[in-house]
Every structure is written in C-alpha cells, then in structure tokens.
Amino acid sequence: MFPLLSVFSCQHVLDEIERDKQEENYTSPYMGKWSGTYSGDQSGTLILNISKSGTIEGTKISQGHQETFHSGLIGSSINSATSNSGFTLYGNLESKSGTWKMGSLNGTWSVTKN
C-alpha cells in the first residue's frame, strides 16, 4: 500500500510543477495598455493596464479626479473590478466594452488597445 501512495504523491507533485511552468509561460492575449471612455450618469476617461498574467490595474479619471482599481481577467472577461469609491467595471475585452455601476449611478464603457 505504501508504494502506491508514494507513486501517487510523486505524480501529484509532477503535475503541480507542470501547472506552475504553464502559468509562468502564460501571456495574456490582452496584455498591454487600453484606453477609452465611460459614460452614462457620470463620464470620464478609462485606462486599463493588463499585465502578462492578465491582472488589471485600471484608472478612472473624471473632472480632474483620478482613482485606481485592480482586478483580473477570466479569459477576456472583466468581472467586478471595483475601486474604493465603489465604481465597478463589468465587461469583456473581446468586445472592448461593458457596463459600470457606482451606487445608483451606471453607464457603459469602451476601450481600444494602444
């Protein structure tokens, strides 16, 4: 029984190492700087910096006020990137657009890759 457990454990470790290698080598197809606008109940500029791994550092600028938020991509989808003010971004980089919400305010956004 112990040799079988040992083989299983070794295979599990090898699988983890392979998965880690794949993650290190992954480059998001959306990597780079994206910029555009958001509009609706409030409007301004939107900048999204997508890292190699698909994490997002976003900036929203409105009436001279700048706010940063962080999130990540699931495939091409932005799910719930939220700033300190409650500005929440939803959408998809495949379509380069989506919606936003902040309390009772809402609207749409769109970006293009620089």
Distance CA 39, CA 88 (A): 13
What dihedral angle (degrees, nearest 10) is formed by the CA atoms of 66, 70, 47, 62? -30
Distances (CA, A) of 87 to 61, 82, 96: 11, 6, 18
β partners of residue 50 = 32, 56
pTM for the full predicted model: 0.78
pLDDT per position as a tens digit, 21-77:
555 678 999 999 999 999 999 999 999 999 999 999 999 999 989 999 988 899 999
**What tokens does 5 get?**
């457990």
Name the residue with tokens 């009772």.
104
What dihedral angle (degrees, nearest 10) is formed by the CA atoms of 22, 90, 67, 65? 150
Q: Which CATH architecture is the domain 32-113 placed in?
A: Beta Barrel (2.40)
Each domain of the chain, given as residue ranges in start order, spans 32-113
